[in-house]
Amino acid sequence: MTPTTLQALGDILLHPRGIAIIGASPEPHRIGGQPIRALKEFGYAGRVYPVNPKYDEVQGLPCCRDIASVPKPCDIALICVPASAVAQSIRECGHVGIPAAVVLSAGFKEIGEAGQALQDDLDAAIAESGVRVIGPNCQGMLSPAEHVYCGFGAPFMYSHALTGSIALVTQSGGFGYAVMGLSEAEGTGFNHVISTGNEADVTALDLMELLLAHEKTRIVATYIEGVKDGRRLTALGHQALSVNKPILVWKVGNSETGKIAAASHTANLSAGVEMYRTAFAQGGYVELSDVYDLVDMANAFSSPHRPQGKRVAVISISGGAGVLLADVCDGLGLSLPAMSEETLVQLRGLLPGFSSLLNPIDVTAQIFNDFSVFNKVVSAVGADPGIDQLIVVMASVEGANALKLATELADIHGRLNKPIFVVSSAPAARAKEAREKFREAAIPVYPTPSRAAKGMAAVTEFERKRVAHMARATATVTRSFQKPTITMPDAPGTSLSERESKAILTAYGIPVVQEVFLTMDRAVAGDYSGIAFPVVAKLDSPDLPHKTEAGAVRVGLQNAPALKTAIDDMVQSAKAYKPDARIAGVSVQQMATGTEVIVGTVNDPYFGPTVVFGLGGIFTELLKDISMRFAPVSIEDARSMVTEIKASKLLTGYRGGLPVDLDRIAEIIHRVSWLAHDHQDRIAEIDINPIFVRPLGQESVAADGLIVLKPMEKAL
Amino acid sequence: MTPTTLQALGDILLHPRGIAIIGASPEPHRIGGQPIRALKEFGYAGRVYPVNPKYDEVQGLPCCRDIASVPKPCDIALICVPASAVAQSIRECGHVGIPAAVVLSAGFKEIGEAGQALQDDLDAAIAESGVRVIGPNCQGMLSPAEHVYCGFGAPFMYSHALTGSIALVTQSGGFGYAVMGLSEAEGTGFNHVISTGNEADVTALDLMELLLAHEKTRIVATYIEGVKDGRRLTALGHQALSVNKPILVWKVGNSETGKIAAASHTANLSAGVEMYRTAFAQGGYVELSDVYDLVDMANAFSSPHRPQGKRVAVISISGGAGVLLADVCDGLGLSLPAMSEETLVQLRGLLPGFSSLLNPIDVTAQIFNDFSVFNKVVSAVGADPGIDQLIVVMASVEGANALKLATELADIHGRLNKPIFVVSSAPAARAKEAREKFREAAIPVYPTPSRAAKGMAAVTEFERKRVAHMARATATVTRSFQKPTITMPDAPGTSLSERESKAILTAYGIPVVQEVFLTMDRAVAGDYSGIAFPVVAKLDSPDLPHKTEAGAVRVGLQNAPALKTAIDDMVQSAKAYKPDARIAGVSVQQMATGTEVIVGTVNDPYFGPTVVFGLGGIFTELLKDISMRFAPVSIEDARSMVTEIKASKLLTGYRGGLPVDLDRIAEIIHRVSWLAHDHQDRIAEIDINPIFVRPLGQESVAADGLIVLKPMEKAL
């Protein structure tokens, strides 16, 4: 059977016409029995085919002896047999043309050595049969929108009436379904929730891609412990911006303990969280860190209006909530600007002397005497062209008063074309009609000010990224220079010498310090003609990647005798440090000055070549004040890398110092990123540390550079 | 009338025998009518006395013509009259001996100039009458524990059946009562909720003190925008540790916008948030940033067991939740150590091959086949002496299974004497009996892993601080040296010259660089005998506090001619910078080397003298990597200040460098703190920048020091 494409798989998984339960059980509480009961009782419109050689009938349905006897159409085989029988079941599905299987069975690679043979057999069965497989070791798939209950556990024991336009893809079934239950309790429903387990075939990334293309899904949520294809994660982020659907992402397994736990949980071992954050920052991702975040973000993105910018007006009955919102918005990068003079004139007519007309606007408890004032204020503020969106704090107003406010707000919201978020702390039961009115008007309602502001900030940031993304003509990064031809030394797994490294950097147009190379003969003989002092001297050796530690660097040498002494000393130190170190000669370099920065690349097994920028010395090493992008990096993005580090003020003119040439640094980052990209098959790391950067008109130069090659591929 | 003491005020406010409503209204929805209805209908056991000359009867109760006619006993006058009539009402209360008043009326200093006269009159009335006043401009007081409803707004419109041992003091009524409503919806009740408004007399701090002493209150919660007496806030934090009651504190008005909003809301203008955080860190405070934090912390502190340390075992049905908890605990400073070998032996007997025996322990979905395993695992892990507390994740288990687990966990919890927190994501309605069982056993239950971990981390940190606090013999900081006698120059509002400043520092035993002072005559004449080069030269002038900017510093001068040229240059620069600058001479100092640190003090109007420590240059100024303590600072605390900055590794031996003499830095901080404390009436700021600190055995020295005196008091 030809494997179903990802696109066609969407139809099959999200709208299955028939489901066979392989390993069907007559007992509705057993894993092989739960889905049968649920599919029968909770409204699934397709056909259900129990399969078990032991029975003629299961839970009132005719039972098939084997997979070959399953009638058509059958889109999904739900596999509940022991691990040892799974591969055979998949092969049989292939024979009879069942295109997809969901494997609940556990006991594969997630248990380590003991499960590896079964995993290998399963992998082979998938390849041979062409069946698309979700799992194994997953909790299944639950689609309230289609009443599809292909899985086991508490959420498969009752009918999910609540649905929505959010789809959830989860690498942990238990966790994902807990999120589902808690979200539902808060009024947020899902259309599809799919757990992926070991991802022997279909991955979380596949499902995210499939769901971004799914018409009825407006928000994709995902719980991930790790992905294998980091660049695809990045690409999906761009796709999310293109199709204007946020991906709400909850990434766990970030701490050292968490990483180890994730490895033993779903056999996931992946890149560091900073790689993920780099991907998230560049695409349409919204990061979550609790269940309520998911509810709040879903709520925020349900507004039909998107903000034009980050300028928020807060209108509050509770002055305290206004003060809090001022703090929270500030921390989230939203601004609370003053109203225009025109708006203020209107407000002064509406509000009594003791209300604050600053933003946040405190309408005070006096509105309890005349509620109509409240919405007149909202209308006036909403019309202010300097305001992009509004947060209206209704505090604990309830019952008929709440309904009156809601009705008028819904009216304003319909006319305004700006997002309005409401904070209402009245218990839901005491403001029922008002909540219903807000729901109809698609006005997000939050129980606390902080949650409203977080939701608003996420939509604002998504919208900012989306607009920027759409404005870029193309997502491809163009090179500002001709691709150089270089010959990479054939020395897998080793560090190139500084001289070799710098030759490659020079070929890529990265400026390096002027240097004179002395052979050991010349160095020892003391023939230093043509050298302009003061200088730095370094031994040139492929065996000493960490020169400082080996005592193989001397700085500030003022004249020839000092250089001679230094060379003798260095040779002695290096021999003591590493007796068999090969020394090719001495590199004598100009003394460079300026502000030290570092440009480096790593070649992550999951995310590919990645560029890191930081200030020299302790800034990068101790304070971790760095910026990252995946290579290649456009000059524009490179400039953002420079300005987004915390200590960037040191580069832009600190304490009256001259600003350094930022364009030049950006150009260097851009070129280094292309070097890492062009030669990603060979280069493991580039470390240019330091580059002395200087003000406009003075050349910035790399004083040191190291290129480390990848080890030989095992296959070779 | 003699004003009631704070202690006696507790009895009056928390258990009032009679309440008079001044400005009573027959209409139950009016501000003067709401409390009458609530007191009558919601179970208040004391007497209710409406007061209004217009009526003989109000809402079925006999109405008094004036305050003088109110029968005894009457403990509280609830004042709902217009602002202009409030002061007179207070005076009348004083005449007839009503000891306390709650003033709901607004229109005082919070509206600015316009309300100042009424505020002044009110202040005078309070002073004359001896009546203790809550408010004005507050929303009142609501005590579910005593059915006291002295206020207005939505929460006073219905009966609060839920009570608890948490008292809430709030500077914002609207906000505080919204918090109350939302917390109640989550099952957390209060005994007393008091809003303080403008704090003309009784402050939030008074009420916090009163409630810490209140037997039936186990947790004090507070919402504050600003307090006037920062040192008392600190003292209450110590008191909280002494009486073993946490203060859950929600501080707002922290951003620039928030500060301005707070000023116009409750007329609060106070110190920066870093001062508050310094106070919170030193005492029994737990900082909140959302309503759910309050619920979660109340829940966490309700456990009868306190942890001995930060070692947590996580036992989870959902592997994903375990991975998440590993991350979250790591971020919160909790550790997940490995189990002892003895525990592991037991676990291997209980759990199947494919469970993870690492911490977090993933018991996997296989426990659905035998629930008894789960609690055997919990018992074994709980008995491990290397574990201080447990988080048990029940995922979505519900109904009878949930009850079975809860019953066994309650049993283990009773025997164990270690905190057990449960995470259960089953909807409350589907695990009702289990929740009841947990409630009876006082086992905190959380809907999500993150919230459980945050609660646990807060209790762990409180307990750590409490144990440390109790271990200290006394809270007073003793001086490690004799108090020096110094003569402070009589120059209010000015900066002392470097020479004057250094003389004071020297008297306090703070080492400063060796220097030779040259009069201008000698400096210009070029007589430099007795000076050992290289040196730094600085002009000595009271008019040039920022010497670098004035060009009045030259470093690295190698010999006498260089010094002469430098002096001529500096005089020229200084005259250009400030033509009328008085120049007393030239200070010629040894060139000091070492790692630069800064020790400074500020004299905050609310928190008093406060010491700041940081590394020199950009670390303090740009990266804000500083530590703070209120003066005086013990040597032990001073040492903590040094090690708690982010870049402290630079002092303790970075990249093979020698560690600097930390004891010496601590000693210097200690002495500077005493200087700031001893002379807090005169000193506004001390800025010792830089101090060159060096390894043990080499003296650390201050290369510069500046003392700024406070301006003259207005009263003088």
Residue position matching structure tokens 């003061």 = A534
Q: What is the structure's pLDDT at B716?
A: 39
Helix (H) / strand (E) element for A663: namely: helix A662-678
Residue A66 has pLDDT above 50, yes or no: yes
**Pairing relation of β-strands A140-143 and A190-195?**
antiparallel
Cβ contact B618–A654 (<8 Å): yes
Residue position matching structure tokens 């949520």 = A221
DSSP-based three-state secondary structure for A173: helix
Residue B290 has pLDDT above 90, yes or no: no
Q: What is the structure's pLDDT at A534?
A: 87
Average pLDDT on B669-689 reads 94
Q: Which chain B residues are within 8 Å of A261, Cβ to Cβ?
A: 319, 322-323, 326, 356, 358, 360, 362
Residue B7 has pLDDT above 60, yes or no: yes
Q: What is the structure's pLDDT at A300?
A: 96
Helix (H) / strand (E) element for B48: namely: strand B47-51
For B502, residues 6+ apart whose C-beta sits below 8 A from its C-beta are: B512, B515, B702, B705
Q: Quick: pLDDT tens for B179-216.
A: 898 889 888 999 999 999 999 999 999 999 999 999 99
How far apart (Å, rounded) are the C-alpha atoms in residues A79 and A504? Answer: 55
> What phi, psi does A222 have (nearest 5°)?
-150, 140
Q: What is the structure's pLDDT at B253?
A: 81
Q: What is the structure's pLDDT at A270?
A: 54
* Alpha carbons within 13 A on the beta-carbon side of B242: 13
Q: Which chain A residues are within 8 Å of B186, Cβ to Cβ?
A: none
Strand-pair partners of B535: B557, B590
Q: What is the structure's pLDDT at A716?
A: 39
How far apart (Å, rounded) are the C-alpha atoms in residues B388 and B395? Answer: 22
Q: What is the structure's pLDDT at A493?
A: 83
Of A337-346, A430-439, B252-261, B290-299, the least confident: B252-261
Q: Which chain A residues are within 8 Å of B451, Cβ to Cβ?
A: 290
How far apart (Å, rounded) are the C-alpha atoms in residues B101 and B4? Answer: 12
Q: What is the structure's pLDDT at B715?
A: 40
Q: Which of B265, B291, B577 is most worth mutating to test chain A (most A CB atoms within 10 A of its CB)?
A: B265
Token reading at B45? 């056991």
Asked if residues B142 and B148 have their Cβ atoms less than 8 Å apart, the reply is yes
Q: What is the structure's pLDDT at B15?
A: 95
Which of A104-108, B73-77, B228-232, B553-557 shows the highest mean pLDDT? Answer: B73-77
Q: Which of A316, A324, A423 is most worth mutating to test chain B (most B CB atoms within 10 A of its CB)?
A: A324
Residue B390 has pLDDT above 60, yes or no: yes
Token reading at A25? 């059980």
Residue B268 has pLDDT above 60, yes or no: no
The 3-class SS string of B327-389 reads HHHHHHCCECCCCCHHHHHHHHHHCCCCCECCCCEECCHHHHHCCHHHHHHHHHHHCCCCCCE
Of A179-188, A247-256, A340-349, B475-484, the least confident: B475-484
Cβ contact A174–B320 (<8 Å): yes
Residue A263 has pLDDT above 70, yes or no: no
Average pLDDT on A411-428 reads 91
**Cα angle B653, B658, B659; round to 5:** 55
Cβ contact B358–A178 (<8 Å): no
Q: Quick: pLDDT tens for A599-638.
A: 999 998 888 899 999 988 777 777 778 899 999 999 999 9
How far apart (Å, rounded) are the C-alpha atoms in residues A190 and A183? Answer: 9
How far apart (Å, rounded) are the C-alpha atoms in residues A336 and A453? Answer: 12
Asked if residues B573 and B687 have their Cβ atoms less than 8 Å apart, the reply is no
Q: What is the structure's pLDDT at A593?
A: 83
For residue B156, give the DSSP letter. Answer: G
Q: What is the structure's pLDDT at A430?
A: 86
Residue position matching structure tokens 């040439």 = A661
Q: What is the structure's pLDDT at A254?
A: 76
Helix (H) / strand (E) element for A142: namely: strand A140-143
Nearest C-alpha in A relative to B322: A261
pLDDT class of A476 with cuts at 50, 70, 90: low
Percent pLDDT > 90 in chain A is 61
How far apart (Å, rounded) are the C-alpha atoms in residues A387 and A392? Answer: 13
Nearest C-alpha in A relative to B138: A365
* CB-nearest partner of A320 from B172, B451, B623: B172
Helix (H) / strand (E) element for B422: namely: strand B420-424
DSSP-assigned letters across all residues of B548-613: TTTT-EEEEE-SHHHHHHHHHHHHHHHHHH-TT----EEEEEE---SEEEEEEEEEETTTEEEEEE
How far apart (Å, rounded) are the C-alpha atoms in residues A167 and A141? Answer: 11
Of B69-73, B268-272, B540-544, the least confident: B268-272
Token reading at A139? 């909790």
Q: What is the structure's pLDDT at A267?
A: 53
Q: Which chain B residues are within 8 Å of A366, Cβ to Cβ?
A: 106
How far apart (Å, rounded) are the C-alpha atoms in residues A301 and A307? Answer: 11
Cβ contact B291–A448 (<8 Å): yes
Average pLDDT on A392-408 reads 89
pLDDT class of A715 with cuts at 50, 70, 90: very low
How far apart (Å, rounded) are the C-alpha atoms in residues B426 and B424? Answer: 6
pLDDT class of B125 with cuts at 50, 70, 90: very high
pLDDT class of A453 with cuts at 50, 70, 90: very high
Q: What is the dihedral of CA B602, B607, B613, B614, to 10 degrees?
A: -80
Q: How far is A701 from chain B (nearest CA, A)?
A: 24
For B477, residues 6+ apart whose C-beta sits below 8 A from its C-beta are: B632, B633, B634, B637
DSSP-assigned letters across all residues of A407-462: HHHHHHHHHH-S-EEEEE-S-GGGSHHHHHHHHHTT--EESSHHHHHHHHHHHHHH
Average pLDDT on A672-676 reads 96
How far apart (Å, rounded) are the C-alpha atoms in residues B524 and B585? Answer: 10
| DSSP H helical ranges for B193-318 | 204-212, 230-243, 256-266, 273-282, 291-301
Residue B620 has pLDDT above 80, yes or no: no
Average pLDDT on A467-483 reads 78
Query: How many Å from the N-terminal Cα to the C-terminal Cα in chain A?
Result: 33
Q: Quick: pLDDT tens for A560-578.
A: 999 999 999 999 999 999 9
Q: What is the structure's pLDDT at A623?
A: 75
Of A336-340, A589-593, A666-670, B241-245, the least confident: A589-593
Q: How far is A327 from chain B (nearest CA, A)?
A: 5
Question: In whole angstroms, how far apart are CA B640 and each of B618, B635, B651?
Answer: 21, 9, 13
Q: How far is A39 from chain B (nearest CA, A)?
A: 20
Cβ contact B174–A327 (<8 Å): no
For residue A424, give the nearest of A393, A378, A390 by alpha carbon: A393
Asked if residues A318 and A384 have their Cβ atoms less than 8 Å apart, the reply is no
Asked if residues B631 and B601 have their Cβ atoms less than 8 Å apart, the reply is yes
DSSP-assigned letters across all residues of B66-101: SGGGPPSP--EEEE-S-HHHHHHHHHHHHHHT--EE
The 3-class SS string of A566-594 reads HHHHHHHHHHHHCCCCCCCEEEEEECCCC
How far apart (Å, rounded) are the C-alpha atoms in residues B474 and B523? Answer: 53
Average pLDDT on A674-686 reads 94
Q: Which of B259, B327, B351, B403 is most worth mutating to test chain A (most A CB atoms within 10 A of its CB)?
A: B327
Q: Quick: pLDDT tens for B8-23.
A: 999 999 999 999 999 9
Torsion sign, CA atoms B56, B97, B198, A320:
negative
Count other C-beta atoms under 10 Å from residue A417's C-beta.
11
| CB neighbour burial string for B476-488, b if at least 16 within 10 angstroms, e if fewer | ebeeeeeeeeeee
How far apart (Å, rounded) are the C-alpha atoms in residues A265 and A110? Answer: 6
Q: What is the structure's pLDDT at A429?
A: 84
Of A98-112, A335-349, A646-660, B186-200, the least confident: A646-660
* CB-nearest partner of B175 from A321, A326, A647: A321
Cβ contact A323–B253 (<8 Å): yes
Residue B609 has pLDDT above 70, yes or no: yes
Q: Compute the mean pLDDT over every residue in chain A, rounded to the nearest whole number.
A: 90
| DSSP H helical ranges for B56-203 | 83-96, 113-129, 173-185
Query: How many Å from the N-terminal Cα to the C-terminal Cα in chain B?
Result: 33
For residue B32, give the nearest of B55, B15, B9 by alpha carbon: B55
Q: What is the structure's pLDDT at A474?
A: 56
DSSP-based three-state secondary structure for B301: helix
> What phi, psi does A600 have (nearest 5°)?
-140, 165
* CB-nearest partner of B396 from A177, A322, A447: A177
Percent pLDDT > 70 in chain A is 96
Size of interface A-B (CB pairs under 8 A): 275
Residue B354 has pLDDT above 70, yes or no: no
Q: How far is A373 from chain B (nearest CA, A)?
A: 17
Q: Which comes out higher in pLDDT, residue B602 or B713?
A: B602
For B134, residues 6+ apart whose C-beta sits below 8 A from its C-beta are: B13, B100, B101, B102, B103, B141, B194, B195, B196, B197, B201, B202
Average pLDDT on A113-132 reads 94
Q: Compute the mean pLDDT over every residue in chain B, rounded to the nearest whole number.
A: 90
How far apart (Å, rounded) are the C-alpha atoms in residues A409 and A126? Answer: 55
Q: Quick: pLDDT tens for A146-197.
A: 999 999 988 899 999 999 999 999 998 888 988 898 889 888 999 999 999 9
How far apart (Å, rounded) are the C-alpha atoms in residues A157 and A163? Answer: 17
Q: What is the structure's pLDDT at A353?
A: 65
For residue A420, give the nearest of A387, A450, A395 by alpha carbon: A387
| CB neighbour burial string for B368-398, b if at least 16 within 10 angstroms, e if fewer | beebebbbbbbbbbbbbeebbbbbbbbbbbb
Residue A268 has pLDDT above 60, yes or no: no
Residue B365 has pLDDT above 90, yes or no: no
Q: What is the structure's pLDDT at A113?
A: 83
Of A589-603, B111-125, B217-231, B543-557, the least confident: B543-557
Average pLDDT on B504-515 reads 93
> What phi, psi does A557 have (nearest 5°)?
-85, 120
Average pLDDT on B522-544 reads 87
Average pLDDT on B318-341 reads 91
